[in-house]
Amino acid sequence: MEDDKRGVPPPEGEGSPEVHPPISEGEVVHTPSVEVVTETSLIRQPPPPPPPPAVVDPQDEEEDRMLRMSFMEHLEELRSRIIRALWGLGIAFVLSLGFANKLWDVVSDPAVEALKHLHVNPPRLAQLTPMEGFSIIWVELPLLASVFLASPWIVYQLWAFISPGLYKKERRLALPFVLLTAGLFIGGGCFAYFLAFRYGLEFLLGIGMSNNVQPVVSITEYFDLFVNVTLGVALVFELPVVIFLLTLLHLLSPRFLLRHSRYAILAIVIAAAIITPTPDVFNLMLFAVPMCLLYFVGVFAGLALVMRREGRTLPWRRVIWITVIVVLIVAAIATAMLQFHIHFIHQWPYLRK
């Protein structure tokens, strides 16, 4: 019995110690982790405070709102801008009415000077119908003056309509855009008034006098020609702005414009031939040369914009040197003409001492 009891192992947990297998030298013993619960861990911690709300820029909010506008909302915005532009035009028209007589003296001066040079006596324009003087001097002339006077306000309304579709950095060009666009428009009108229209008018009035034709010009025909030439040249002077806007909207690139510049010059000469009131080459070049220069000025402005987008800078030192050289050449030619009393004429060789 004792031998049998010795051969039977005692039940587990009853007095006999638990026997573990031997541990080798390189074996790692994993012990279970014991979580220690303290009084502080039983206390519920408050949740962290929510992050402060992001500061929304009003300009960004307006940009998001404008970009999400529907087609009808865009039409409503366009209608609002047109009404504001018309309000500015109306205010300028009322202001121009107070100077209608003085404005007519300025507008009729090229005709009076041309008739004096042609020895037409008396050097005056003719009124052929009873309503002609009222409609021209008191309605159409103040309206033309108000277009030039209100041009900065009209250009600003145009910029305000297209600016939501531009980047924030590009919107900062608002003031230069308005000043340059209005300045080119007014400058084109002045160029037409002081140079192009005067030369062309004297040529047209004197072309038939050698055949015993006495020029008698009505104020309606004269003013229609004046409006066509003045507004036509003023709009042509907006060519750099148009090129810059198309480059800004990614519709054109300076490389494309330079590659097709020969076709642009051909189109400019055709447009100058249409705008020019006379068929002679002198007046044609008087229109075409400034238009070609304006075309390349617009290409240069577009190139500067593209290089700024790409993080590159223009070689301004070289540009300034080229500009200075061109100005000096033009000034030297003008000084020589004044020194030797050379002036332009309407026949070949277009210069006479």
Residue 297 located in a structural domain? no
Residue 278 located in a structural domain? no
Structurally, the chain folds into a number of domains equal to 1
CA dihedral 86, 89, 90, 92 (to 10 degrees): 160
**E strand or H helix at 86:** helix 71-97
CA distance 8 to 12: 12
Backbone φ/ψ region at 38: left (φ over 0), alpha (ψ -120 to 50), beta: beta
The answer to whether residue 230 scores a pLDDT higher than 80 is: yes
The answer to whether residue 347 scores a pLDDT higher than 80 is: no
Buried b (16+ CB within 10 A) or exposed e, 283-292: bbebbbebbb
Residue 328 located in a structural domain? yes
| CB contact set of 21 (below 8 Å; sequence gap of 6+) | none
CA distance 208 to 195: 22
**Nearest C-alpha neighbor of 182 from the set 229, 238, 99:** 238
CA distance 197 to 161: 34
CA distance 197 to 201: 6
Structural domain range at position 344: 320-353
pLDDT band at residue 330, thresholds of 50, 70 and 90? Answer: confident
pLDDT band at residue 143, thresholds of 50, 70 and 90? Answer: very high
CA distance 91 to 85: 10
Residue 348 located in a structural domain? yes
pLDDT digits (tens, 9 = 90+) for 162-190: 877 767 776 777 788 888 899 999 999 99
216, 169 Cβ separation under 8 angstroms = no
CA distance 217 to 112: 11
Predicted local distance difference test score (pLDDT) of residue 206: 79
CA-derived radius of gyration, the chain: 41
Residue 113 located in a structural domain? no
Residue 327 located in a structural domain? yes
What's the one-letter identity of residue 295?
Y
pTM above 0.75, yes or no: no
Residue 349 located in a structural domain? yes
Predicted local distance difference test score (pLDDT) of residue 25: 53
Residue 337 located in a structural domain? yes
CA distance 199 to 282: 9
Alpha helices in 150-259 (DSSP H): 151-162, 168-171, 174-191, 197-206, 219-236, 239-248, 254-259
Predicted local distance difference test score (pLDDT) of residue 13: 47
pLDDT band at residue 146, thresholds of 50, 70 and 90? Answer: very high
pLDDT digits (tens, 9 = 90+) for 260-292: 889 999 998 888 888 776 677 777 887 888 888
**E strand or H helix at 173:** none
